[in-house]
Amino acid sequence: MGDMRIGILAYDDCFATEVFAVSDILRIANRVARENGTVSADPFRTSVVSVNGEPVTAAGGFGIGARRWRRDHDLLVVPGFDLSPTEDLDARLGDRHREIALIREAGRRGVRVASVCVGAFLLGEAGLLDGRRSTTSWLFASQLAGRYPLSTVCAQSLVVTDEHVTTTAAFSASLDLATTIVRDHLGSAVARATARITLVSENRTSQAPYVVESMVTPATGPFATAVQRWLVDHLSEPYSLPRLAAAFHISSRTLLRRYGDDVGRPPLEFLQDARIAAAKRLLSDTDVPVGDIPPRVGYRDPGTLRRMFVERVGIGLAEYRRRFRTR
């Protein structure tokens, strides 16, 4: 088992936490591996690098020293940067043309490349996401999918590896990325010990429980917006396409066509999402018993909601309340 040379790419306005979280976890993993006899020397050789080897200024004005990127690195880690959903993404990415060129060249040479959060956009600009599965923060997943249509964006996944390219969800997923690197290189025992020492969850696989639906604004036209508003107003009632169409004085076929033109999917899918979102709010913000929630969000059979909730959120109703209940 040889050592692994890892360069963490620092650049102006990147998140310093996403740089040093990976470095620190791997440093601790080195100690764990040595002390349990897995290796005799540090398996991870980690350095913070920049395009020209000069210091950079991270988000918040914090200076980070860096070395020049070397071609003999085995893995390049690309942290995310400070970004708002309303900002001009083209302008932000245009400022990073040197970093994008470095990422493109590393990928072309077969170097493993991993990103944290919106660092995935830098990989996308470098062409590394084309034909591959990817992920990013749920807040930016639709933008990633729209900008790089040749990539299959797994919006709920926490860590996605496709060939030599790995992408992750937001911010704290840098810890999951580091744990994944340890597991892949040193095995589950060292990864588990490192995770427990650092209080990092060992089994997070989905970011779905953390999604705040009100912060995700799908692209819709005025007709679809009106339909969605009607569906939310009648959330607890059984879904009936003829009744929905009658409310807008059109045929069912016309409603599906016009709604599909605006949104690209049927209204029932929106209704199911809205019901899951309503169940989340009842679980986190109220004391309504778990057993009383299904009929309140339109499910007469409690089992239907339970199954759908697990499929879409990744955990059960009671577990969601335990994690996210507002005290």
Burial 72-107 (b: 16+ CB within 10 A, else e): ebbbbbbbbbebeeeeebeebbeebeebbebbbebb
> Is the confidence at residue 262, as pLDDT, over 90?
no
Asked if pLDDT for residue 108 goes beyond 90, the answer is: yes
Q: What pTM did the predictor assign?
A: 0.76
What is the torsional sign of CA 50, 54, 59, 64? Answer: positive
Sheet holding 67-68, edge to edge: 67-68, 44-50, 4-9, 75-78, 112-115, 165-168, 159-162
Phi, psi of 2 (to 5 degrees): -85, 175
Instruction: Give CA–CA dist 36/201, Å, rounded.
Output: 21
Q: What pLDDT score does 204 carry? A: 81
Residue 184, pLDDT score:
94
Q: Which two tokens stand for residue 13?
A: 């306005």
Token pair, residue 170, equals: 């937001």
- Burial label for 261, CB within 10 Å (0-12, 13-18, 19+), is exposed
Which residues lie closer than 8 Å to 189 by C-beta, 6 or more apart?
36, 38
Mean pLDDT of the chain: 91
Q: Across residues 252-258, what is the average pLDDT?
A: 94
183-190 average pLDDT score: 94
Length of the chain: 327
Q: Set out the domains of the chain in order of their start, with CATH numbers.
A: 4-209 (3.40.50.880), 218-324 (1.10.10.60)
pLDDT in tens, 137-171: 988 998 999 899 999 998 888 999 999 999 999 99
Model confidence at 324, pLDDT cuts 50, 70, 90, reads: confident
Contacts (Cβ under 8 Å, ≥6 apart) of 267: 227, 228, 231, 241, 244, 255, 256, 259
In angstroms, the CA 81 to CA 84 distance is: 10
Q: Alpha carbon 144 to chain centroid distance?
A: 11
By mean pLDDT, which of 6-20, 126-140, 241-255, 267-281 is the weakest? 267-281
Predicted confidence at residue 244, as pLDDT, reads 95
DSSP secondary structure letter of residue 213: G
